[in-house]
Structure 1
Amino acid sequence: MSVSTTGTEPGLSEAQFSRVREWVYRRTGIQFADNKRYFVDKRVQACVREHGGGFDAWFAGLRLGANAALAQELINELTVNETYFLREDHQFDALVKSVLPRVAAERRATGSTDPIRILSLPCSTGEEPYSIGLRLLEDWGDIEDFDVEIVAGDIDTRVLQFAQRGEYGPRSMQRVPLAVRTRWFDRVKADTHRVKPDLRDAIDFRIVNVCDTESMRAYRDFDVVFCRNLLIYFDEISSRRAAENLFGALRPGGHLFLGHSESMSRISPIFTPVRLPEGIVYQRPPIGAAP
């Protein structure tokens, strides 16, 4: 059975759906349940129509890796990108009021001149890393005393291009105070704002797959990692692999922020939960910490 090329023919067969689901899982760690069948069907059909030649030819190219663009196109179609500025703002409070003061105190105590490094993934269309930058610039008193590097990564190349452009509409901007909007955004249309160059150029956007252990080895010695609302899409095996890769990305003593519905205690014991006034974060134990 081939994939529909019109709106009236059936979508994927059970076997085709299973093959695509397994490929996506092995490549990204994301596992689509049966109730996501319609979502997957429509996006796979779009990819097959773009490629031409029917499902079998398309999937053969995907599976054999003959055309890297096929794989990236499917990943782009199947990833979910729902975000806005200053989402779960209490975690940014924790960053500027509790976590970064600890990092700064440690740097001063040791005389280290290393930059403070923050990793945001999956960064989606960029609202999270830009929110981190905004809160540091607006609310962290030590920002003038330290160099800060913010790296933002996602598996979806289209959202990375959107993030680098830095243009946002009302939904994304709904929680940005007017004074902050005036200082750090330019209005480019009646309902569209663009992040000003000083902030936009400060974020390093990259393709990152948190489940790819080999490629994640390039990310090390971060003081803070934001990985919010991603692990809920993984099964137990993928979640554990992602946790280990996030652990490796942090320096000893570094802190991990998860989404409000996620709990590392149900995934892996390698992190230490830390209760801050603003909420719970997870820490890679410092060197010499008791097990």
Structure 2
Amino acid sequence: MPVTAGDIDAVCELINDLCGICLDASKSYLIESRLGQIVEKHGCTSYADLVQKVRRGTDASLKNQVVDAITTNETLFFRDSYLFEALRYKALPELIDSKEKTAFPTRLRLWSAACSTGQEPYSLAMTLAEMIPDVNRWDIQIMGTDISDAVIAKASRGWYATHEIERGVSPERLQRFFLADGSGWRVRDEIRAMCSFQRQNLLEPLGMSARFDMVFCRNVAIYFTREVRRDLFQRIATTMSPQGYLFVGAQEFLADIGPNFAPQNHCRGTFYRPNMTNIPVYVR
């Protein structure tokens, strides 16, 4: 079914309302390729008709199908190795040192926002296991969230096909952190135990009770408008501890959000410490 100009306007407005992704007329091919089957499946007369059915809200699964179809779930283990180098050699050692004299020196709280199918949270858990000799004695919680129920379900299972494992997992890590399971691999229980997953639409109130030591929100805000992006990261900052570290995507720079979002560059990776005062400013 061809996409009309009216269809594009209706779909773009709906997608922006549902998940903050900003589309325009140049994305008509994406709308047609990703939503065409849903239009046919639900007997819609047009893409605008699909939009009306979603907005009426009589079929909750239909909204989820649209969100799942339009959002990009591209991810892999240890994506952007330089970020994990900055984590390993700078942020995490500093964080652990800063906790030594606190009431909870072995408690770590991490949040992987827009975690897709779970590779990032599990990569973080594996990194902690490699760096902390007695990691099983630590109180570590890594929360992964995503807007898609389908990808959260997959992340919770912790099972990955061989081609997913080959994208980022070294032979050494495969042997240490995974078990062969059928035609793929399952994350070992000691790594899965650090991670939990739940649905979270980043446009909605975050409602986080934890104060996170580290937040990873990468490669999602690039699809948002400037206003939505600014609001999101300001709200994320309220969920973080005073010493907390914020990691974003390689193309996401936050210095325009406010003076407390000054970038720090290490090992070619960039992070922010929005709740910490008197930190040095690094200019890219």
Q: Is the 8 A contact 1:220 1:248 kept in 2?
A: no
CA spacing shift, 1:140–1:260, aligned 2, 3 Å? farther
Provide the rounded CA distance (Å) in 1 between the counterparts of 2:267 and 2:33: 45
CA spacing shift, 1:23–1:84, aligned 2, 3 Å? same
Give the alignment partner of residue 35 of structure 1, picking from 4, 11, 26: 26
Superimposed CA distance per residue, residues 79-106 of structure 1 (whole angstroms, 9 cap, x where no aligned partner): 1011111111221222233222222222
CA spacing shift, 1:180–1:221, aligned 2, 3 Å? same
Aligned to 1:185: 178
Aligned to 1:166: 158
Give the alignment partner of residue 36 of structure 2, picking from 45, 49, 64: 45
Q: Name stretches of at least 5 consecutive residues in structure 2 with no aligned partner.
A: none
Aligned to 2:253: 263
Aligned to 1:126: 118
Length, aligned pairs only:
279
Give the alignment partner of residue 239 of structure 2, picking from 235, 249, 254: 249
Letter in 2 for 1:184: F
**In the alignment, is residue 74 of structure 1 matched against residue 39 of structure 2?**
no
Cα offset for 1:229? 1.0
Aligned to 1:97: 89
Cα offset for 1:125? 1.1
Superimposed CA distance per residue, residues 91-126 of structure 1 (whole angstroms, 9 cap, x where no aligned partner): 122223322222222222233357210000111111
Aligned to 1:19: 10
Cα offset for 1:250? 1.2
| Bigger shift: residues 218-227 or 279-288 | 279-288
Give the alignment partner of residue 85 of structure 1, picking from 77, 82, 93: 77
Q: Is the 8 A contact 2:244 2:273 kept in 1?
A: yes
Q: Under a length normalisation based on structure 2, what TM-score does the superposition of the two structures give?
A: 0.88
Structure 1 residue matching 2:101: 3-state secondary structure: helix
Superimposed CA distance per residue, residues 34-85 of structure 1 (whole angstroms, 9 cap, x where no aligned partner): 2321111232222222323534654333113233222111101101011111
Q: Is the 8 A contact 2:213 2:244 kept in 1?
A: yes
Q: Is the 8 A contact 2:109 2:210 kept in 1?
A: no
**In the alignment, is residue 63 of structure 1 matched against residue 47 of structure 2?**
no
Q: Under a length normalisation based on structure 1, what TM-score does the superposition of the two structures give?
A: 0.86
Cα offset for 1:129? 0.6
Q: Is the 8 A contact 1:240 1:268 kept in 2?
A: no
Provide the rounded CA distance (Å) in 2 between the counterparts of 1:53 and 1:90: 46
Structure 2 residue matching 1:124: 3-state secondary structure: coil
Give the alignment partner of residue 235 of structure 1, picking from 221, 225, 230: 225
Provide the rounded CA distance (Å) in 1 between the counterparts of 2:60 and 2:116: 21
Cα offset for 1:158? 1.2
CA spacing shift, 1:30–1:269, aligned 2, 3 Å? farther
Aligned to 1:139: 131
Letter in 2 for 1:54: T
Aligned to 1:198: 190
Letter in 1 for 2:117: T
Q: Is the 8 A contact 1:217 1:248 kept in 2?
A: no
Q: Is the 8 A contact 2:143 2:197 kept in 1?
A: yes
Provide the rounded CA distance (Å) in 1 between the counterparts of 2:140 and 2:23: 37
Q: Name stretches of at least 5 consecutive residues in structure 1 with no aligned partner.
A: 1-9
Structure 2 residue matching 1:272: 3-state secondary structure: coil
| Bigger shift: residues 261-270 or 118-127 | 261-270
Structure 2 residue matching 1:54: 3-state secondary structure: coil
Letter in 2 for 1:70: L
CA spacing shift, 1:276–1:141, aligned 2, 3 Å? farther
Structure 2 residue matching 1:109: 3-state secondary structure: coil
**In the alignment, is residue 176 of structure 1 matched against residue 161 of structure 2?**
no
Question: CA-atom RMSD, angstroms?
Answer: 2.5
Letter in 1 for 2:245: H
Letter in 1 for 2:254: M
Give the alignment partner of residue 272 of structure 1, picking from 235, 240, 262: 262
Cα offset for 1:277? 4.5
